[in-house]
Amino acid sequence: MDRRPFDPGAVINGALKIYRDHAGVLIPAALAVFAVQAILAIVFSGGLGVVVSVISVVLGTFYQGMVVELVRDVQDGRLDSSVGQLFASITPVFATLLVVSILFGIGVAIGFVLIIIPGLFLLTIWSVTAPVVVLERTGVLGAFTRSRELVRGNGWSVFAVILVVFVGLAVVSTLASIVSSGLGDVGSALVAWVVTSVTAPISALTAAVLYLTLRERAGEPPLSSDVGPEAPGALR
């Protein structure tokens, strides 16, 4: 196990570097995924805000799962992924990732309703559930358990990463909301869609880099490129 201090800045910088190098793949994929959120925002025109917020968290977790394979390929020095490959990477675990995303969104939303702190706690210990599902092929409950195990002992550092990324993205979203405030419901929804698609890769990449960093700190071997229940490094 790595006893060196956990460096939140290194995780964030690593995610930003991958973003700069692969924005041409990450942003189009995000536009496709978050189109669902934009459509719902337009249809409900400001109503059902809680539902749309939960769906936003679900889509964010789902997108994390798509991005994690790209991050591992980059760290392994392999060729760039395409948009199609990002979607294909989650095909084998689509159902599991979908259920995990929904439970994650509902759990964190309930946690925030309960005086915020439980929500922050769950957001921290479940921060790498999507990467776990995609790269370790766990079941639904196993993903939450495994994420908690990886985060254990690094909770405050993981929370620091989440906080810095959240605050940074919140500032961007707030500025975008101010700029689009006079555009009407449809215009605001479209601006939010574009902004979300541009910023979502940052949080998704951060989760992926965070997952690989936590594995390394736990002294675990690199995952095999042949991911599956029988692959070296995969959970059974």
Q: What is the pLDDT of residues 111-137, one digit of tens each?
A: 887 777 888 888 899 999 989 998 899
- 44: Cα separation from own chain's centroid: 25
> pLDDT band at residue 164, thresholds of 50, 70 and 90?
very high
> pLDDT band at residue 82, thresholds of 50, 70 and 90?
confident
Residue 7's φ and ψ, nearest 5 degrees, are: -105, 100
The whole-number pLDDT of residue 229 equals 40
Between the alpha carbon of residue 141 and those of residues 27, 85, 101, the distances in Å are: 30, 26, 12
Between the alpha carbon of residue 179 and those of residues 172, 175, 194, the distances in Å are: 11, 6, 13
Rounded Cα gap, residues 73 and 80, in angstroms? 8
3-state secondary structure of 195: helix
Q: Does residue 224 carry a pLDDT above 80?
A: no
Task: Using alpha carbons only, give the angle 49, 119, 178 rounded to the nearest 5 degrees.
Answer: 40
The whole-number pLDDT of residue 230 equals 40
Which of 50-59, 95-104, 133-142, 173-182 is least confident?
A: 50-59
Rounded Cα gap, residues 114 and 71, in angstroms? 34
Does 227 map to a domain? no
Tell how many helices (H) and how many strands (E) occur in the chain. Answer: 10, 0
The whole-number pLDDT of residue 49 equals 61
Query: Which of 128, 68, 133 lies closest to 96, judged by CA?
Result: 133
For residue 99, give its domain range.
Answer: 8-217
Does 1 map to a domain? no
Does 230 map to a domain? no
For the chain, how big is the Rg over CA atoms in Å?
17
Rounded Cα gap, residues 123 and 116, in angstroms? 11
pTM of the model: 0.80
Does 226 map to a domain? no
- 205: Cα separation from own chain's centroid: 7
Does 232 map to a domain? no
Residue position matching structure tokens 């995969």? 234
Q: How many structural domains is the chain composed of?
A: 1
Does 225 map to a domain? no
